[in-house]
Structure 1
């Protein structure tokens, strides 16, 4: 899954803070920033992953669709499926 520019930016800053933490430690403000950035990164990751799963269709070797009903129901609700 390709990272968005926002995810790249968040990850870069998270890594900067991780390196600084190993070398010299973080201030209270930096620790709060690290937590906020991690939470935002995970929120974005989960939303992206959920979207990918909800858009997915699965087919068996014979070409028959075997997408789980739970996913089909979500797709119908979002107007992505008309069956």
Structure 2
């Protein structure tokens, strides 16, 4: 997964908030809400990236025969990534 500058900043801020949450001062209500929003954004981006990787996947057995699941092949065909 290629991480953009924005996503690196999101992850960095999540980590800052996690450290602050463990400190004696804790998080403010605004920071709790910010953390929830950032986590949701991070997970959404992760899921999209992971889905894209799976959709590009081709699986081969030990004999070199393609055994990519038909469901993945259909998605690839629908996206114009596969001719057969």
For Structure 1 versus Structure 2, the TM-score category normalised by the shorter chain is over 0.9
- After superposition, residues 20-35 of structure 1 pair within 5 angstroms as 20-23=20-23, 24-35=25-36
CA RMSD of aligned residues (A): 1.0
String of CA shifts for 1:27-80, please: whole Å, max 9, x gaps.
111111000000000000000000000001011111110000000000000000
TM-score (norm 2): 0.93
Output the CA distance in 2 between the equivalents of 1:68 and 1:33: 39
Runs (5+) with no aligned partner, structure 1: none
Query: After superposition, where does 1:4-23 map in structure 2 within 5 Å?
Result: 4-23=4-23
After the TM superposition, which residues 63-78 of structure 1 pair with which residues of structure 2 at under 5 Å, given as runs?
63-78=64-79
The TM-score normalised by the length of structure 1 is 0.94
Match of 2:51 in 1: 50
Gaps in structure 2 of 5+ consecutive residues = none
- Counterpart CA distance in 1 for 2:18 and 2:7 is 16
